[in-house]
C-alpha cells in the first residue's frame, strides 16, 4: 500500500542521497517540482487518510506508559477485532498514541473528529463503544468523564475542564498521532520549522528568532535558550555537539517521557534546528533507561528520519549534516546535571564538574556542547514554524510560552497539563487538577521536585513563572507538582525529599554528601519525637551552608524543601518538638491510641487484631489499650467498625 512517504511518480527525485529541498512541503502541498493534478490528488488522498474526518473516523487510544500498564494494548487489539467484525475497517481507524495527559483516568481514548473522550476503558467495553459510536451514532454515557467541578459528563474532551483550561503547544500532537509514524507528524505540519530555518534563515537569524521568542530552558534553571545557543555558536571549535537531556529524575515528573513517547519527532526537529543554528553535526539524547517506550519510539523516529533524509548528510539539499544518537542513562538523579550527564555519555562516572569551563566552551569530549531539556527542544519547531511573535503571545513578561506540569499526589486529575506561563497555582490545581481527592483540604504543593519548595494555601494565587516561584522559595524546576492534603505531615515530607537528595548525592563535595545526611538525621529525630529545641536553628543554619557551599545544583537546592517548610509551616515542626505531637497524625512514633468507651461496642475485633496483644476487655468491660505496650501500629483504628479507636 502506498504511503504519504512514497514518491508520487518517477519524476520525484528525492532520496537521502539526492535530497530535494522542498521534500517536506511536497508531502503536504505537493508535488512542487512538477504540476500534475493526478499526483496532487494522490497526495491529498493519502494526507486525508492520516487526518481524521467523517469518512475516516479515528480512535486515538493512549498507549503511553501509564495506560499501557492498565491494559491499553488489549483495548487496541479488541477495537481492531471488533471493527473488522462489524465491517467498519474502511471508515474507522484505530491509532495507538502517546499520553493524553489524563493518566488518572486511563486507559483513555478519543474519537475524532467528534472529540469524544472515554475514560477508564476496559476491553469488555469495546464492543459497546463500537456498536454505539459507529453503528448507532450514540454515546456510551457511563464511560464519559464526569467533571468533578461541575458533576456533569463531558460531552467532548475539549469540554472537560482538564483539557479546556490547557494551552497545548508542545503537547499539540501528543495523543493525536501515531508516534511510530513520521508521516503522522509531517501531516500535522512537522518538519516545517526545520524547512523554514534551512531555506529562509541563516544560523544567526535562527538564534535571533529563538531569542525573540523569549524561550527559557525547561530543564529547571530557566536559562534563555537563544542566548545559550549563541555561546556555543561563538565558541571556537572544529566539532560541536548538542545534547537532549531526557534524564528526568525528579520524583513525580514525567512530562519529558510524555513528549518523547508521544511526539518524538518534535524533539528531533527541535534538535535539528538547534544543531543548524549552533553549527553542530552530532547530537545525543541522554534518556533514562527506565523509559523503554520513550527509547523505542525515539529509535524508530530516528530511523525513519534517516530513511527519508531528514537526518544524515546534506539534509534537504542544504549542505547541513546532522547525526543523532541515543544514550541510555543508568538511573542516577545527578546524571541530569549537565556536566555529570556529559561525563556519563563519555563513559565515566556521572559526577558534576566545576564550571567554568562551561559546556559551551568545553563539553562532550572537550568540544563546545549545547545541552537542552526535552521540552525546551520540543518548543523550538513551533517557534520556527509560526514565528517568535506567535509563540511569545503566551506567558508573562519574562517567562514566555507554555509549560507542562506533571500533577501528582492528592489531586483528582493526576496527569500532564500544559498551561501558559503565569497561570496561578490555584487554577492549575483546582480547575485543571479538579481539586483535592475525597473532598479533603489542600495543605501544600511541592513544586520543582527535590530542588523545589513546599508552598502553603496562602501562596495558591502565585503566578507560576520562573521568577515569582524562585522568590517564594520554590522553583519551576522540571515542572513536577506534588499536591498534598491535610493528612500530610510537612516534617515527614521534608524528611522524604532530603532522603532522596542524600541518597542521590554523588558524594563529591563535603556539604552535600555529609550535610544532607545530618539534616536528614535532625528531621528524622523530630519525626520520632526526639527533637530538641535547638534543632530547628541548627537545621536552618546547616541548610544555608549546604545551599551556599555545594558544588552543583543538587546540593545547592537540596535544602529548599526544608527551608520552605520551615518558612511556611514552622509551628508544625515546633509541635513535634515541644508537644511531641504530629498535627497531621502521620508520624507514628508521636501517636497515641486509646478507645472511647462510649463508642466501643465491645466487639473485640481490635483485641484480636492487635499484634502486640495489648488490648484487653470483654463483653462486660469496655476494651482498653495498655499504652506502655502499644507499638503504635494503628491496626486497631483501621479495623474498628465503630470509630471507637482514637488516634491522637
Partner 1 sequence: MEWITLTIDGRTVTVPKGTTVLEACRMNEIPIPTLCHDPELSSYGSCRLCIVEIEGMRNLPPSCVTQATQGMVVRTQTTKVRDSRKTILELLVANHPLDCMTCQKMGDCDLAKYAYEYRVTGELFKGGERRHLPLDDSNPFILRDANKCILCGKCVRACEEVQGRSVLDFSFRGFHAQVGPAFNLPYSESECVFCGSCVSVCPVGALTEKKMVGQGRPWEVEKVQTTCPFCGTGCNFDLNVKDGKVIGVTSNPEAPVNGKALCVKGRFGMDLIHNSERLTTPLIKKDGEFVEATWDEAMDLVAQKLGEVKQEHGADAISVLSSARCTNEENFLMQKLARAVIGTNNIDHCART
Ligand X SMILES: Cc1cc2nc3c(=O)[nH]c(=O)nc-3n(C[C@H](O)[C@H](O)[C@H](O)COP(=O)(O)O)c2cc1C
- Tell me the sheet residues that pair with 482: 408, 446
Least distance from C-beta 546 to ligand SF4, angstroms?
8
The length of the chain, given as a count of residues: 648
Note whether 266 binds ligand FES by CB under 6 A: no
In 166-314, at which residue ranges do the beta strands (DSSP E only) sit?
241-246, 282-288
| SS3 per residue for 392-454 | HCCECCCCECEEEEEEEECECCCEEEEEECCCEHHHHHHHHCCCEHHHCCEEEEEECHHHCEE
Note whether 555 binds ligand FES by CB under 6 A: no
Q: Which is nearer to ligand FES, 101 or 515 (CB)?
A: 101
Q: Which is nearer to ligand X, 60 or 286 (CB)?
A: 286
Q: Which residues bind ligand X (CB under 6 A)?
A: 217-221, 223, 228, 245, 247-249, 333-334, 336-338, 371-373, 376, 478, 552-554
Q: Which is nearer to partner 1, 330 or 648 (CB)?
A: 330
- The rounded distance, in Å, linking the Cα atoms of 544 and 566 is 12
Binding mask 476-515 for partner 1 (x = CB under 8 A): --------------------------xxxxxxxxxx-xxx
SS3 266: helix
The dihedral region occupied by 432, where left means phi > 0, alpha psi between -120 and 50, and beta the remainder, is: alpha
- Tell me the sheet residues that pair with 369: 241
Q: Which is nearer to ligand SF4, 326 or 614 (CB)?
A: 614
| Contact set for ligand FES, span 76-105 (CB under 6 A) | 99-103
Q: Which is nearer to partner 1, 7 or 553 (CB)?
A: 553
Q: Collect all residues with Cβ–Cβ distance below 8 Å to 552 and sequence separation of at least 6.
A: 334, 337, 339, 340, 352, 506, 509, 512
Q: Which does 295 bind (CB under 5 to 8 A by kind): ligand X, ligand FES, ligand SF4, none?
A: none
Phi then psi for 2, rounded to 5 degrees? -75, 140
Q: Which does 634 bind (CB under 5 to 8 A by kind): ligand SF4, ligand FES, partner 1, none?
A: ligand SF4
SS3 625: strand
- Using CB under 6 A, which of the segments 250-258, 374-382, 533-541, 609-617 binds ligand SF4? 609-617
| Contact set for partner 1, span 350-409 (CB under 8 A) | 351, 354, 356
Name residue, grid cell 555537539: 241
Question: How far, in whole angstroms, is CA 34 from its chain's centroid?
Answer: 44
Q: Which does 337 bind (CB under 5 to 8 A by kind): ligand X, ligand FES, partner 1, none?
A: ligand X
| Contact set for ligand SF4, span 298-357 (CB under 6 A) | 334, 352
Note whether 647 binds partner 1 by CB under 8 A: no
Note whether 293 binds ligand FES by CB under 6 A: no
Grid cell, residue 42, equals 494522490
Q: Is 24:140 a contact under the CB 8 Å cutoff?
A: no
Note whether 593 binds ligand SF4 by CB under 6 A: yes
By the criterion CB under 8 A, which residues form the site for partner 1? 332, 334, 349, 351, 354, 356, 502-511, 513-518, 521, 538, 541-542, 545, 547-551, 556
Binding site for ligand SF4 (CB under 6 A): 334, 352, 505-509, 512-513, 550-552, 554-555, 593, 610, 612, 614-615, 625, 630-636
Amino acid at each position: 500500500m502506498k504511503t504519504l512517504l512514497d514518491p508520487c511518480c518517477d519524476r520525484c527525485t528525492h532520496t537521502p542521497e539526492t535530497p530535494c529541498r522542498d521534500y517536506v512541503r511536497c508531502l503536504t502541498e505537493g508535488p512542487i517540482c512538477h504540476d500534475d493534478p493526478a499526483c496532487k490528488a494522490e497526495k491529498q488522498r493519502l494526507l486525508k487518510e492520516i487526518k481524521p474526518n467523517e469518512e475516516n473516523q479515528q480512535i486515538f487510544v493512549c498507549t503511553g506508559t501509564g495506560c499501557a500498564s492498565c491494559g491499553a494494548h488489549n483495548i487496541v487489539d479488541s477495537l481492531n477485532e471488533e471493527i473488522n467484525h462489524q465491517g467498519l475497517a474502511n471508515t474507522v481507524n484505530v491509532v495507538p498514541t502517546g499520553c493524553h495527559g489524563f493518566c488518572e483516568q486511563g486507559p483513555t481514548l478519543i474519537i475524532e473528529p467528534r472529540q469524544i473522550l472515554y475514560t477508564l476503558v476496559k476491553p469488555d467495553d469495546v464492543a459497546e463503544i463500537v456498536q454505539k459510536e459507529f453503528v448507532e451514532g450514540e454515546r456510551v454515557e457511563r464511560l464519559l468523564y464526569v467533571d468533578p467541578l461541575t458533576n456533569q459528563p463531558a460531552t467532548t474532551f475539549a469540554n472537560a475542564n482538564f483539557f479546556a483550561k490547557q494551552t497545548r503547544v508542545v503537547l499539540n500532537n501528543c495523543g493525536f498521532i501515531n508516534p511510530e509514524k513520521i508521516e503522522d507528524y509531517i501531516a500535522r505540519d512537522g518538519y516545517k520549522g526545520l524547512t523554514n530555518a534551512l531555506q529562509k534563515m541563516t544560523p544567526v537569524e535562527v538564534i535571533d528568532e529563538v531569542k525573540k521568542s523569549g524561550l527559557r530552558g525547561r530543564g529547571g534553571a530557566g536559562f534563555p535558550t537563544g542566548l545559550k545557543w549563541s555561546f556555543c555558536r561563538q565558541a571556537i571549535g572544529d566539532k560541536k555537539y548538542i545534547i537532549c537531556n531526557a534524564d528526568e529524575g525528579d520524583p513525580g515528573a514525567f512530562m519529558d517521557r510524555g513528549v518523547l513517547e508521544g511526539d518524538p519527532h518534535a524533539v528531533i526537529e527541535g534538535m535539528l534546528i538547534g544543531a543548524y543554528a549552533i553549527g553542530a553535526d552530532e547530537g545525543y539524547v541522554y534518556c533514562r533507561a527506565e523509559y523503554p517506550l520513550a527509547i523505542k519510539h525515539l529509535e524508530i523516529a530516528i530511523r525513519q528520519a534517516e530513511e527519508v533524509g531528514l537526518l544524515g548528510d546534506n539534509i534537504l539539499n542544504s549542505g547541513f549534516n546532522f547525526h543523532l544518537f541515543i544514550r541510555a542513562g543508568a538511573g542516577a538523579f545527578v546524571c541530569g546535571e549537565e556536566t555529570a550527564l556529559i561525563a556519563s555519555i563519555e563513559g565515566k562516572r556521572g559526577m558534576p564538574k566545576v564550571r567554568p569551563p562551561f559546556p559551551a566552551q568545553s563539553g562532550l569530549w572537550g568540544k563546545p556542547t549545547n545541552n537542552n531539556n526535552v521540552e525546551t527542544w520540543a518548543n523550538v519547531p513551533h517557534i520556527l514554524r509560526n514565528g517568535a511573535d506567535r509563540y511569545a503571545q503566551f506567558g508573562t513578561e519574562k517567562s514566555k510560552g507554555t509549560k507542562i506540569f506533571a500533577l501528582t499526589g492528592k489531586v483528582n486529575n493526576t496527569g500532564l497539563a500544559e498551561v501558559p506561563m503565569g497561570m496561578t497555582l490555584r487554577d492549575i490545581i483546582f480547575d485543571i487538577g479538579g481539586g483535592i481527592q475525597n473532598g479533603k483540604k489542600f495543605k501544600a504543593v511541592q513544586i520543582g521536585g527535590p530542588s523545589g519548595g513546599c508552598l502553603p494555601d496562602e501562596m495558591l494565587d502565585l503566578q507560576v513563572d520562573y521568577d515569582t516561584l524562585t522568590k517564594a522559595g520554590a522553583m519551576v524546576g522540571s515542572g513536577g507538582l506534588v499536591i498534598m492534603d491535610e493528612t500530610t505531615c510537612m516534617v515527614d515530607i521534608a524528611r522524604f525529599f532530603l532522603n532522596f537528595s542524600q541518597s542521590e548525592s554523588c558524594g563529591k563535595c563535603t556539604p552535600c554528601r555529609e550535610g544532607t545526611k545530618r539534616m536528614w538525621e535532625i528531621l528524622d529525630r523530630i519525626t520520632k519525637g526526639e527533637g530538641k529545641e535547638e534543632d530547628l536553628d541548627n537545621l536552618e543554619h546547616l541548610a544555608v551552608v549546604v545551599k551556599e557551599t555545594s558544588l552543583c545544583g543538587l546540593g545547592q537546592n537540596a535544602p529548599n524543601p526544608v527551608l520552605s517548610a520551615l518558612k511556611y509551616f514552622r509551628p508544625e515542626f515546633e509541635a513535634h518538638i515541644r508537644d511531641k505531637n504530629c498535627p497531621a497524625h502521620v508520624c507514628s512514633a508521636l501517636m497515641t491510641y486509646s478507645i472511647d468507651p462510649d463508642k466501643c461496642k465491645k466487639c473485640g475485633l481490635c483485641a484480636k487484631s492487635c499484634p502486640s496483644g495489648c488490648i484487653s476487655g470483654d463483653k462486660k468491660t469496655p476494651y482498653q489499650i495498655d499504652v506502655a505496650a502499644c507499638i503504635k501500629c494503628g491496626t486497631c483504628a483501621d479495623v474498628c467498625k465503630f470509630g471507637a479507636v482514637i488516634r491522637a
